[in-house]
Chains A and B, each alone.
Chain A
């Protein structure tokens, strides 16, 4: 049976892993390849590497750090941030990424999703959706540029459209919850996962193991992602998986840890 995945996220700024609250107030958390190796050993099922300063600085992803990270972790690596074209995606895959995450560039030019999926297969295309609960009416609005800019897109509608165009997976981040440790937005996750066939990765707001369980049980997520609670060793990946297993969810146990 397919395991529910636990995914540590490496938010990388200028080559270092950082974490802030709501994408601001960044704090240094370490070296990407070192953290990647540590998480692989601790039982991470996959890693997400987001170059959060590539887009604002108008440059490409730091490919050498992607490659050093890919060479240290024998688990899958999704890389995002600043991928704006099929050529960008090819370079990131060549540097060792297994999947590439598209966000702002896909909102600006949805045909990019289609072109990337046609060239590399939909399984390599992750569309990252940053969503914020609307204040005046129901639903969530899509925000871009690291949460700094609102768009007219509604998140659930955009999720369906992205999958039609060729997204093989969705990384759904609640900007309201990101960095707040107040739990995942399970309403947002449930609204999206009910409408798409592809796996949904829950992101934004994890505080404790029970939140991960809720993202899957109530939100319908296939995978759960978090950053600071793992970086700061507030909870271990093993503890999260133990809570998931206790809730009857299938998880991958890592022999090194079980022994």
Chain B
């Protein structure tokens, strides 16, 4: 890991707006590399997979560029990962949107939003946190984030408690953020969510820098601090 400025590799696989992610990460002090092949992110400090749209064409493009397996290995190795929107959905086993088989690093499926009064779910909505996490440090509990999607990942029941980080309600409620170790994913777009979105990205960069991915209260006491 780099000592001062973490190097974030943003995966470009032709599925969405990279300008805003690039600009947002730079504005919170990260060094950004837009990468199109696996060699280009091998020594990055964190991997960011963005994306909007459907799963099947996205998986096709990842496969064509030889990216699917390296991303899977990256997550399996416990290296820092941030998935945004489709970049989160692709972590699940598959998608109901088009039947695509996705990366399968989080048990569960991407499903259509249930009982939604309008679809796509477009606009600002609340993100109700289920447990403390440094990703949300300093962000007011009632902060709104920007969403634009019709599907969302649904963690398998056995893992839902440990992986779900936040819920959002549009019709029924769905999982809008997940975290498992240094793997985090958000269904909303922090790069388009104003000041609170930038704060979330700043927090992600801080986690990458410090290697601390749990809320302070949940951390084991530091032996050096309590000891002697």
Contact = CB atoms under 8 A, between A and B. Distances in A.
Contacts of A70: 17, 19-20, 23
Given A123-B53, A256-B195, A199 B17 contact: no
A120 B192 contact: no
B118 A119 contact: no
B84 to A, nearest CB: 12
A245 interface: no
A199 B118 contact: yes
A94 B148 CA distance: 17
Interface in B188-209: 189, 191-198
Interface string A45-79: 11000000000000000000001001100111100
Contacts of B18: 94
A96 B148 contact: no
A207 B40 CA distance: 52
A254 B193 CA distance: 11
Nearest to B27: A74
Contacts, number: 116
Given A93-B16, A197-B118, A223-B123, A76 B146 contact: yes
5 contacts: A2-B118, A67-B19, A120-B53, A169-B120, A199-B122
Residue of B121, B148, B189 with most partner-chain A CB within 10 A: B148
Interface of B: 14, 16-20, 23-24, 27, 52-54, 57, 117-126, 140, 144, 146, 148-150, 169-170, 189, 191-198
Contact of A169 (B117, B122, B126): B122
B124 A96 contact: no
Given A70-B19, A76-B146, A121 B118 contact: no
Chain B interface mostly helix, strand, loop or mixed?
mixed
A121 B213 CA distance: 33
A99 B52 CA distance: 10
B54 A95 contact: no
Contacts of A19: none
B38 to A, nearest CB: 22
A116 to B, nearest CB: 11
Contacts of A5: 123-124
Residue of B20, B123, B149, B198 with most partner-chain A CB within 10 A: B123
B198 A74 contact: yes
A123 B196 CA distance: 23
Contacts of A95: 19
Question: Which 10 pairs from chain A and chain B are nearest by CB?
Answer: A121-B53, A96-B19, A123-B120, A3-B124, A252-B124, A71-B23, A252-B144, A76-B192, A123-B148, A168-B120
